[in-house]
């Protein structure tokens, strides 16, 4: 009898860990490493949010709270959905967890039975398929095409749906591509979902506020009101409010689903950190002007990276609408060799050879389910990005 669970054997170890280990190893050897792999803003948590956390400690908010969030935070979340998305939710329809990740996990654990399918567009955030597997479901991957700016089409969604589809897992703007669906693009998908009333929508809106060039964010239940009763809208404070370490994410949706998610959380982690919850109240209810300032920096960096990468023969990089990632294709470099004779057969080999030769750490596309590409996080300074892109260009120009 195996000691480890059979469920766990279905889950892949994170493909990004090998790259991170290699980068750490090289750094320990004194190499000059530029890591473009972090999925978090390089800005500090704004002062008023930090002050709210200190005040929460001083006020003694240091004990267990309600399992899925204090009422003040649930109200702030309802106000956020009304303000930003035109969605009306009552506090009983809201769940707060330790990061968006836990909220997504709770939703899948609370709903999936063996044989249930979850349709996931690729490239996807690395955790989606493995979370589905851990919860006993089956991921069904739909590959978005570069020519379609890494967005899936209505026909693709329609043909992926079967009798067994429980969820369509949607993420816009996307990690890893930054691609954001416009209202009309999303409407083509929600029209498909209207024809399949047994399919629920799990939308991960984590990058809602990180959008550029006037891109107008929209979320499925807002685009198609008829989907409201079968949509769980997930969001969080990690990215827009620079609070990745505070671990607060939330969702709103049908009350019975929220109650089931509460049950999962009550028997695993209980409430998210009480102090972080009060900080999140301050984040959601407080000023938002810093987001525009951050976005100006992100926009400048996105353009710098996209323009520089597109000038490199063999690389094609779409200019995405949001988040802080780009996802260039290296199709034009596959089959070439490095001066040391390494054959670039895959994006994993490309990323490893790039790291070894130049010290630039990126995440290879296979980790996100769509090759041959790699992901750059541009949440770092302009100088670092310029130097990294120069090294990538030099590396590519030496391929034969
Ligand atoms: C698309 C997406 N969803 C969810 C998360 C999880 O966010 P959190 O830090 O709130 O758990 C991330 C974090 O990288 C993400 O990129």
Distance 243 CA to ligand 1 centre (A): 11
298 lines ligand 1 (CB under 6 A): no
Report how far Cα 120 is from the mean position of its chain's Cα atoms: 13
- Cα 372 to middle of ligand 1, angstroms: 23
Exposed / middle / buried, residue 274 (Cβ in 10 Å: 0-12, 13-18, 19+): middle
Cβ(220) – ligand 1 distance below 6 Å: no
Span 48-82, pLDDT tens digits: 999 999 999 999 999 999 999 999 999 999 999 99
| Domain ranges for the chain | 6-44+290-395, 63-285
Residue among 77, 103, 125 to mutate when testing ligand 1 (max atoms within 8 A of CB): 125
User: Which DSSP state fits 296?
Assistant: H
Does the pLDDT at position 14 exceed 80?
A: no
Q: Is the peptide bond before 173 cis (omega within 30 degrees of 0)?
A: yes
- Measure the CA–CA gap between 48 and 283, rounded to whole angstroms: 8
CATH 3.40.640.10 holds for 63-285: yes
Dist CA 223 CA 94 (whole Å): 20
CA distance 319 to 136: 36
Smallest Cα–Cα separation from 165: which of 133, 100, 120, 106?
A: 120
Q: How far apart are CA 243 and CA 70, in angstroms?
A: 18
Residue 27, pLDDT above cutoff 80: yes
pLDDT in tens, 173-220: 999 999 999 999 999 999 999 999 999 999 999 999 999 999 999 999
Q: For residues 300 and 145, what is the distance between their CA atoms, to the nearest angstrom?
A: 26
Interval 264-278: pLDDT, tens: 999 999 999 999 999
The number of the ligand 1 atom at minimal distance from the alpha carbon of 204 is 3
Which residue has the CA at smallest separation from atom 13 of ligand 1?
A: 39
Could you read off the pLDDT of 302-320 as tens digits, one per residue?
A: 999 999 999 999 999 999 9
Domain at 6-44+290-395, CATH from 3.30.460.10, 3.40.1190.20, 1.10.4190.10, 3.90.1150.10 = 3.90.1150.10
């Amino acid at each position: 009898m195996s000691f480890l669970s059979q469920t766990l054997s279905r889950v892949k170890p994170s493909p990004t860990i090998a790259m991170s280990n290699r980068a750490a190893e090289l750094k320990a050897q004194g190499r000059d490493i530029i890591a473009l792999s972090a999925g978090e803003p390089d800005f500090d948590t704004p002062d008023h949010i930090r002050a709210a956390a200190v005040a929460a400690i001083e006020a003694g908010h240091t004990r267990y709270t309600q399992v899925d969030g204090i009422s003040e935070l649930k109200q702030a979340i309802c106000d956020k959905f009304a303000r930003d998305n035109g969605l009306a939710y009552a506090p009983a329809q809201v769940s707060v967890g330790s990061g968006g990740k836990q909220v997504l996990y709770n939703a899948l654990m609370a709903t999936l039975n063996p044989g249930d399918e979850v349709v996931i567009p690729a490239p996807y955030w690395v955790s989606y398929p493995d979370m589905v597997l851990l919860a006993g479901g089956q991921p069904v991957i739909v590959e978005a095409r570069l020519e379609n700016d890494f967005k899936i089409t209505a026909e693709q969604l329609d043909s992926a749906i079967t009798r067994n589809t429980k969820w369509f897992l949607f993420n816009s703007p996307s990690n890893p591509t930054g691609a954001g669906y416009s209202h009309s693009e999303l409407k083509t998908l929600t029209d498909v979902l209207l024809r399949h009333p047994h399919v629920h929508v799990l939308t991960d809106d984590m990058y809602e506020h990180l959008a550029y060039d006037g891109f107008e964010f929209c979320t499925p239940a807002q685009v198609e009101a008829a989907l409201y009763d079968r949509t769980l809208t997930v969001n969080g404070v990690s990215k827009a409010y620079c609070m990745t370490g505070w671990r607060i994410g939330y969702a709103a949706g049908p009350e019975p689903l929220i109650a089931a998610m509460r049950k999962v959380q009550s028997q695993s982690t209980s409430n998210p950190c009480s102090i972080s919850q009060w900080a999140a109240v301050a984040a959601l209810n407080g000023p938002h002007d810093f987001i525009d300032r951050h976005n100006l920096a992100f926009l400048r960096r996105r353009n710098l990276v996209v323009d520089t990468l597109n000038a490199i023969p063999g690389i094609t990089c779409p200019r995405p609408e949001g988040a802080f990632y780009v996802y260039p294709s290296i199709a034009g470099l596959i089959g070439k060799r490095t001066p040391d004779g390494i054959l670039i057969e895959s994006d994993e080999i490309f990323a490893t050879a790039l790291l070894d030769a130049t010290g630039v750490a990126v995440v290879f596309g296979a980790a996100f389910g769509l090759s041959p590409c790699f992901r750059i996080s541009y949440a770092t300074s302009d100088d670092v990005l310029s130097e990294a892109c120069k090294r990538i260009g030099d590396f590519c120009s030496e391929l034969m």
